[in-house]
Structure 1
Amino acid sequence: MNIAVEKPPLAADQQQRKAPLPTLTRRRLALYATGGLSVVAVLVFGGYWFSTGRFLETTDDAYVRADWVALSPRVAGYVAQVEVDDDQAVKAGDVLVRLQNRDYQARRDQAEAGVAEAQAALTAAQASQQVAVERINQQQQAILQAESAVHSAEAERRRSELDMQRYQGLVRDNAATVQRLESANANAIQARAALQSAQARQREQQSQLAMAKAQALLAEAQIKQRSAALASAKARHALADQDTQDTVIRAPIDGVVGQRRVRAGQYVVPGQPLLAVVPLHQTYVVANYKETQLAHMRPGQPVEISIDSFSSQHLRGRVASFSPASGNVFALLPSDNATGNFTKIVQRFPVRILLDQAEGGVQVLPGMSVVTTVDTRGEPADEQ
């Protein structure tokens, strides 16, 4: 017996839903999904650009720098000993190179002898001046004595002349003898002679006083001369001592030794490069930004730094300063655009960026290439 079995309507609907969609329908869904994702991506990117991206200025024309010091000798000589090796860390004041100092020590000893000789000559001149001063005092006392003798002789002359005049009157009146008149006359003559002798001694003492003053002036001039000679000798000694000290070359700053070209036994001259000291703890970044990127940059704004050698780590820094001119201005051969075939080129300006404390023990070395991103939303440090 054949019995026709009909499928339930519900089962038929399920089979229709399980049937594959037409190709056109699948393409349309994929297009809608792609469009939706694109719209979302555009919205996300637009939101990021509007809130953050438009304030970020990035350049890969940036490098790590350090104000390293090239050391050169101030005096010529043979290198006695090199105290440091390549890439060795040193502290300020550490001895780096020693030059042979025998000749310079001999010159210093000679200069010391010259100082002692000049000092002795100055002492002798000062003694001569003291002798001249004492002689002046002595002559002044002698002049006082000579003046007293002149006054005494003058008084004796007057007394003798008065006696002679009295005896002349007495002789005319026959009250005295001629012998007494002749004796009074002789006394007057002796008194005049004594006066002239006292006056001569006074002039002699005055002359000796003038000579003593002249000797004092000469001694004073000699003191000035000897003082100048002593100062010159001390200056020569200072130069000789400085040259002796310059045979020892020390590190001016903390850092690491690099470019060591000096070797023991080498003859060096003043100004010849020997080695360099690089202060790795004072590294900074110089980023060359286009002039069109500087409109909103200010000192103190935060900077994100990506070093090519450590691409997985990012450092932080701050904008320190801007160059007063573009790199082309300071170039050895700056370009001259005053020509007929002028082509405008966007210039770049060096921006100095100071690094914050390095994280994770990252060794930042001068010359490394970096990528810097300045957040121009950040307020300068002096305005916060």
Structure 2
Amino acid sequence: MKLLIRIIILVLILALAGFAYWFLYGRYFQSTDNAYIQTDITNVSSRISAVVVESKIMDNQKVKKGDLLARLDDQEYVISEKQAEATLAQDKADLENSQAAYQMQKSTILEYESDINSAKARYQYAYHQYRRFQTLEKHHYVSKGDMDNAASSFKVAEAECNQAKASLKTQIDKLKVQQSEIQKATAIVKEAQANLEQAKLMLSYTRIVAPIDGVISNRTLQVGMMVQAGQSIASIVSDRTPWISANFKETQKSRMHKGQPVEVSIDAYPGRIFKATVDSLSPATGATFALLPQITQRVTLLKLFSVFL
């Protein structure tokens, strides 16, 4: 009987001690086993469709940003680049010809302006001669033949002056046309330059480089295989500090906030405790992002940062 009483007292003491521990200390801490270590994983894809001619990577190989991972067949794109260069050279030559023709037309206009000045001078002379002969004719000082010659010279000079003006206008209109030809040739050159840049860009896509520092994983690249545009050839696991995504129930997160210290134990390192910090709390529950959400499951995603510090 005494032994039973002692056992009951011992159980009560342990229960009270456990309750006191929970009330004074344990209830302020939350824990979960539903947590996973994560890090950034970047899928490396081909931007073009081509045959792989060289592979520079192996599984679990460390790479740096900008390292060459693979080289694709570039013959087609080299030819396209050369064609674009030739087209640009031809278009530039056409532009230079248009500019030269424009300058020549300006010189031609100067010649026609000089012709107008000469025609105007002849017209003024013929006009004054004609007027003078008209005055002399009234006093019968000139013959009818001289008067007819003066009138004819005046009409010829007048016609030549009008013709010179019309020719000048035609040449000025030609200058406007040639100016528009220069603008058109300039636009064609810009288009050819853009096509060349596009060809160079497509050629650069035959070299697949690492977008980040990390470790090669999930490699599917093989020499001789035909890759399609957008096809993944490997993944790179970032070598940045990983984080832990931990799922807690809604009843556990009421006092959680960013910056709180966290202790983490990892199965791969038994007996070791890692220090971490709450980085952020997800605004949605973990079930929200599931393929088949469970309405009864209500947990909050908690991101822990600097786990291995």
Aligned to 2:179: 220
CA distance in 2, matches of 1:334, 1:148: 99
1:55 aligns with 2:14: no
Measure, in 1, the Cα distance between the counterparts of 2:6 and 2:136. Answer: 163
Partner letter of residue 156 of structure 2? S
Corresponding position: 1:144 with 2:117: yes
Taking only aligned residues, the RMSD between alpha carbons, in angstroms, comes to 2.2
Say which of 248, 253, 270 aligns to 1:294. Answer: 253
Query: Following TM superposition, by how much is the alpha carbon of 1:46 offset from its aligned partner in structure 2, in angstroms?
Result: 4.0
Q: 2:137 aligns with which of 153, 158, 164?
A: 164
Which residue of structure 2 lines up, in the alignment, with residue 35 of structure 1? 9
Contact 1:327 1:349 in 2 (8 A): yes
Q: Residue 288 of structure 2: SS of its match in structure 1?
A: coil
Q: Could you list the runs of 4 or more consecutive aligned residues of structure 1 that deviate by over 4 angstroms after TM superposition?
A: 41-44
1:134 counterpart residue number: 107
Q: For 2:277, give the aligned amino acid.
A: R
In structure 2, C-alpha distance between the alignment counterparts of 1:276 and 1:226, rounded to whole Å: 47
CA distance in 2, matches of 1:353, 1:200: 97
- For residues 290 and 57 of structure 1, what CA distance do their matches in structure 2 show? 10
Q: Give the whole-Å Cα distance in 2 for the aligned partners of 1:193 and 1:293.
A: 116
Residues 14-47 of structure 1 show CA distances to partners (whole Å, capped at 9, x for unaligned) of: xxxxxxxxxx66x37x817x735852x4555444
> Is 1:123 aligned to 2:96, yes or no?
yes
Match of 2:262 among 297, 303, 325: 303
Tell me the alpha carbon deviations over residues 306-354 of structure 1, each in whole angstroms, 9 at most, x when there is no partner. Answer: 111112112122222222322333333445x6xxxxxxx2412222221
**Structure 1 residue 92 and structure 2 residue 65: aligned?**
yes
Q: Secondary structure at the match of 1:115?
A: helix
Q: Which among 82, 100, 104 is matched to residue 55 of structure 2?
A: 82
Deviates more, 1:214-223 or 1:255-264: 214-223
Aligned partner of residue 211 in structure 2, secondary structure: coil
Q: Who wins on radius of gyration, i.e. which is larger?
A: 1
Deviation, 1:83, is 0.6
Residues 91 and 251 of structure 1 are in contact (CA less than 8 Å); yes or no, is this contact kept in structure 2? yes
Matched residue, 1:348: 299
SS class of match (1:210): helix
State whether residues 287 and 297 of structure 2, in contact with CA within 8 Å, keep that contact through their aligned partners in structure 1.
Answer: no
Structure 1 residue 266, shift from structure 2 partner: 1.3
Q: What's the offset of the Cα at 1:103?
A: 1.8
Q: Identity of aligned pairs, percent? A: 29
C-alpha distance in structure 1 between counterparts of 2:241 and 2:153, whole Å: 97
Deviations 1:225-272 (A, max 9, x none): 222222222222112111111111111011000001111111111111
TM-score, structure 1 as length reference: 0.74
Q: Does 1:232 align with 2:191?
A: yes
TM-aligned CA deviation for residue 84 of structure 1? 1.4
From the superposition, tell whether residues 346 and 268 of structure 1 become closer, same or farther in structure 2 (CA, over 3 Å).
closer
**What residue ranges of structure 1 are gaps of 5+ in the alignment?**
1-23, 169-179, 338-344, 360-384
Q: What are the superposed Cα offsets for residues 204-228 of structure 1, whole Å, 9 maximum, x if unpaired?
A: 1112112212211221222222222
What corresponds to 1:266 in structure 2?
225
AA matched with 1:283 = P
Whole-angstrom distance in 2 between the partners of 1:152 and 1:208: 21
The letter of the residue matching 2:112 is Q
Question: For 1:292, what is the secondary structure of its paired residue?
Answer: helix
Report the Cα distance in structure 1 between the residues aligned to 2:128 and 2:62, rounded to whole angstroms.
Answer: 99
- Report the Cα distance in structure 2 between the residues aligned to 1:112 and 1:123, rounded to whole angstroms: 17
**1:315–1:355 contact (8 Å) kept in structure 2:** no
